[in-house]
Amino acid sequence: MIKRLQKQYALSQQGAKDLVKGCLACVLQNLSFMFPVGLLFFLVSDLLNGGVPGEKISFYVIGCVVCIGLILLTTYIQYNATYFATYTESGVRRITLAEQLRKLPLSFFGKKDLADLTSTIMADCTFLEQSFSHFIPELAGSILSTILISINLLLLDWRMALAALWVMPIAFGIVGFSAKVQEALNQKAMDVKMACADGIQECIETVRDLKASNAEAEYMKGLEKKIRAVERRSILNEFGLAAFVVSASLVLKFGIATVALVGSILLIQGSLEVITFFLFLLVVSRLYDPLQSALQNLAAVISTRTNIARMNEILDHPIQQGSSRLSNKGYDIVFDHVGFAYNAGEAVLKDVSFTAKQGAVTALVGPSGGGKTTVSRLAARFWDVNQGRITVGGMDISKTDPETLLALFSIVFQDVTLFDNTILENIRIGNKDATDEQVLAAARLANVDEFAEKLPDGWNTNIGENGCTLSGGERQRISIARAFLKNAPIILLDEASASLDVENETLIQTAISRLIADKTVLVIAHRLRTVAGADKIVVLSEGTVAEEGRPDELKQKNGLYARMVQMQTESQNWRLG
């Protein structure tokens, strides 16, 4: 049962156990509310038989105190078993989702956007907090306690029991049959919410471009439509839910009428005692209140399926696995007849084979869309190949744990990601255990000291979200400093100086020259002059290796590489006017 609950509600093992405890606590609380009914029954029975004897007064006083004590105790237990346990499980669930995301291949993120994943971790988890603290335990508690009470009613008088209970399966059946309708409504509501969240995030991220193009007003019209769509869907959801819950609640009310009607007939016939009739009226008046809440809780539990499905999509997604031990002999990178597609039927690489030698610089060049970036990402196992294999020092990377494999790589991306922290801590990302002296040494090799020591707080200056207070060249130098600090034997470079001014380009190329010494280097080159001294050029075109060799050899072949060099030379000589 525990495993089934884990799967059905995206819970940890402890969370599933706590859910069971919460349900049992709700059963105890509901049963405790029936004790005053029993006490009242005995009191009325005594009154009908000539009054309350003096010796029984203390019994009823003590009984009242015991009932109050039981209700307080069971309520305390129920509160701890549901609310406190729920908040603990909510934290565990968010951490579990984050850990799972860390292990997923980048192919998963290519099909998801940031707003969607953020909503799953935050909004969906928050909704389930409410479900596990309110809806599910109270629903289970109501059903189980009702079953126990119903058994006793049937033993007391099956005719009156049937008059009281016949409405229950009909009421719950109405809400149960609404499941497919609710799921469809919830899915549509989730779709418009995600579209709205995407629109808001896009608006914030592109506000500079919108202002520059005077497009804010037009964009806001589209965003307003998305917000109104969320509003309309929320109203439709409420109406869809209410139609079933209200109908079921109305059916439930017929139970009181049938108990009164059947009881009256049986009293007239003389086959039912007045005190038993009174007891049934007391019980059903107490019995239907929690059941009415249970109907609402059942509808709410059904609506959680959409949120749980979104979580399970993350939790059930296959992760990249492999050996946590490195078995490579050297650091040659070999692509052996590699084929790859991001989406089925859309091949990006076709039968790609080449070797990037240890101690040499191998440059990947070619037209845009030729597969250069894909090759570099596959080398670090950001994705897994569809055919062929990639080895590092003879070790098949598809059989190596990704995090273990990445210990061999230092990567400098063209688009740098920095954190809202100090310069020192941003560089320390390269090696979290590095001392300040080691961080500073790496920073100086990357020429970060050239600007860091001029800042108000020096190395401890906070650089803002994604380094917003720094220039593009300064941000790139911090990225290169990370690579120096990591000091991995393999360097992947997505040409870091492609969009920088001449001064920054010179500083960064100097830093890169220091970084790549005596390492296996795979560099994506956009400016061919920056790789004129490379040991090997691999020209990628339309997902295949069109040419490979030394730069001088490829120029003499007068093929694609030679034409690209000629075109870039001509573009450099272009002048206005």
Instruction: Establish if 454 belongs to a structural domain.
Output: yes
> Of 288, 315, 342, which marks where a domain is finished?
315
Confidence label for 574 from pLDDT (cuts 50, 70 and 90): low
Whether residue 397 lies inside any domain: the answer is yes
Which H or E run contains 536? strand 536-541
Q: Are residues 381 and 232 in the same domain?
A: no
54: in domain:
yes
Residue 328 located in a structural domain: no
pLDDT for the residue 164: 87
d(CA 536, CA 510): 20
> What pLDDT was estimated at residue 499?
47
Q: 9 CB contacts (<8 Å, ≥6 apart)?
A: 15, 16, 19, 128, 132, 136, 304, 308
**Within a domain: 577:** no
Question: 132-141, 208-217, 239-248, 268-277 — which is least confidently predicted?
Answer: 132-141
User: 138 and 13 share a domain?
Assistant: yes
pLDDT value at 447 more than 50: yes
Q: In what order do the strands lie in the sheet with 333-343?
A: 346-356, 333-343, 387-392, 395-396
- Residues 419, 270 within the same domain: no
Strand residue runs (E) in 375-519: 387-392, 395-396, 409-412, 490-494
Residues 200 and 66 occupy one common structural domain: yes
Establish if 320 belongs to a structural domain.
Answer: no
The CATH number of whichever domain residue 286 belongs to comes to 1.20.1560.10
Q: 394 and 269: one domain?
A: no
Residue 529: CATH number of its domain: 3.40.50.300
Q: Let me know whether 80 and 221 are in one domain.
A: yes
Shared domain for 223 and 166, answered yes or no, is: yes
Does 337 score more than 90 pLDDT? yes
What is the predicted pLDDT for the residue at 145? 76
| For residue 75, pLDDT beyond 80 | yes
For residues 202 and 247, membership in a common domain is answered with yes
Q: Is residue 98 part of a domain?
A: yes
What is the sign of the dihedral through the CA atoms of 439, 440, 442 and 448? positive
Range of the domain at 398: 333-572
CA angle 141, 146, 152 (to 5 degrees): 135
In order, the DSSP letters of 260-305 are HHHHHHHHHHT-S-HHHHHHHHHHHHHHHHHHHHHHHHHHHHHHHH
Q: Looking at the structure, do residues 305 and 350 belong to the same domain, yes or no? A: no
Is-contact 439 424, C-beta < 8 A? yes
- Of the pLDDT bands very low, low, confident and very high (cuts 50, 70, 90), residue 505 is low
Whether 482 maps to a domain, the answer reads: yes
**Better-scored residue on pLDDT, 267 or 106:** 267
Strand partners, 339: 387
Residue 395 has pLDDT above 80, yes or no: yes
Predicted confidence (pLDDT) per residue in 112-159, tens digit? 777 778 778 877 777 777 777 777 777 777 777 778 878 888 888 889
When pLDDT is averaged across residues 249-274 and rounded to a whole number, the result is 86
Overall domain count for the chain: 2
Q: Answer yes or no: do 240 and 297 share one domain.
A: yes
For the entire predicted model, the pTM comes to: 0.67
Residues 38 and 135 in one domain: yes
Of 280-284, 324-328, 354-358, 545-549, where does mean pLDDT reach its minimum?
280-284
Q: What is the mean pLDDT of the chain?
A: 82
CB hemisphere CA count around 326 (13 angstroms): 14
Q: 490 phi and psi, to 5 degrees?
A: -120, 130
- State the DSSP H helix or E strand holding residue 353, giving kind and residue range, or none if neither: strand 346-356
pLDDT tops 80 at residue 461: yes
Q: Comparing 183 with 233, which gets the higher pLDDT? A: 233
**Highest mean pLDDT pick, 241-250, 283-292, 433-442:** 433-442
Specify whether 426 is located in the same domain as 515.
yes
Angle of CA points 116, 122, 128, to nearest 5°: 110
